[in-house]
Amino acid sequence: MMRRADFEGIESAPRWIVIFLAANLAAGFLVAYVWNAAGNLFSMQASSGSTSAFSVTVLTAVDLWLSIEVLRRFPRRAPLHSAWLWILLAAAVRFMSETLASLAVCGGSTALALCVPIQWAMLAAAMAQVLRVFHRLGFWRGPRAADWAVCAVVWLFTLRRSGVLVAAWLDGQPTAGADWISLAGLPILCALFLAAMLLRQSLASMGNGLVTRGWAALVYAIFLTGAAEMALWIIPHYFHSLPLLLLASLARLPMAAAFALVPAWQVAAQRHAIQPGSAEPEELPTGLPAMAE
């Protein structure tokens, strides 16, 4: 049963993020339903795009703030200090790109397109450090066949997209710089996917504690990133009737929420460790006279 205390303090951030996401998704689907029922009489972009962009910006700001809170608890020589630093920097890049896109202040789409592979590279550096630490702690598990299958799908998508772009360029068709930058980021996405698979296996060997949930959120965030990247390229090529803008805005929200949950769960775990509230794992006995017998 939820208590009021469960929603107070920074340690309740995971709950608030999920509630915020659910509310925004519900509003987005409602707008889509009304748009569909009204026979496309009003602009989808005007009604949902700006609201969604604002919500994503809010989530990336929360992500950045919580990442700073997490990093404060890790001294410079701590094994995970560099991993959280990379996560913080990736959050900063996400926040900057969302803010600039929302304000429509940018040096063209090329600059914004650069932010995507940069933050992926930062996340890949973070994942490498995390996997190294998990391996040293004894939580390492190798990839399974299903993991390789998922990675293969991403690699095939990368090859397909590369082929299409190169063919268009060879045909003399105009290609935007942003397309080439996105293409350059895809191999990083493949590496991220492989790292996410390995992290998922390691987390399965740990369980479902507070700390584990944070890293699981990172795995899901990377999955959503890859799925969105693939969907937003495939839809305009093969499914013209689907509302691309609406789907794009709806895809960015869960991604932003998943990334925000990574430091949120970590902060919740750290705060609980330092200042446990009423939600203790169990009652601790106060004496052992009987057990000493």
Partner 1 sequence: MHLSRGALIAFCDGETGPAKQARVARHLAKCQKCSGELRHIRAEKGCLSSSETSGFPPGWSRLLFSMGAWRQGRTFGLSSEIRRRAHSQIEFYLGTPAVSLVEQAGTRAEDSLARATQILETLLGPEAAEAVRDRVLSGLECARTALESRL
Residues of span 64-83 touching partner 1 by CB under 8 A: 73-75, 78-80
Specify the length of the chain in residues.
293
Rounded least distance, CB 267 to partner 1, Å: 10
Binding part of the chain for partner 1, among 61-69, 89-97, 193-201, 270-278 by CB under 8 A, reads 270-278
Taking the C-alpha atoms of residue 104 and residue 15, their distance in angstroms, rounded to an integer, is 31
| Contact present, 117 and 185 (Cβ < 8 Å) | yes
CB 161 within 8 Å of CB 183: yes
Residues between 194 and 253 with contacts to partner 1, criterion CB under 8 A = 204-212
| Least distance to partner 1, CB of residue 284, Å | 5
DSSP secondary structure letters along 171-182: TT----HHHHHH
Binding-site size for partner 1 (CB under 8 A) equals 38
Q: Is 186 or 203 the residue whose CB approaches partner 1 more closely?
A: 203
- What lies within 8 Å, CB to CB, of 73 at 6+ separation is 270
Continuous segment of H or E residues that includes residue 76: none
> Which positions from 127 through 146 interact with partner 1, judged by CB under 8 A?
133, 137-139
**Dihedral pair phi/psi, residue 222, rounded to 5°:** -70, -40
To partner 1, the closest distance from the beta carbon of 281 in angstroms equals: 4
Residues that bind partner 1 (CB under 8 A): 73-75, 78-80, 133, 137-139, 204-212, 266, 269-270, 273-276, 281-282, 284-293
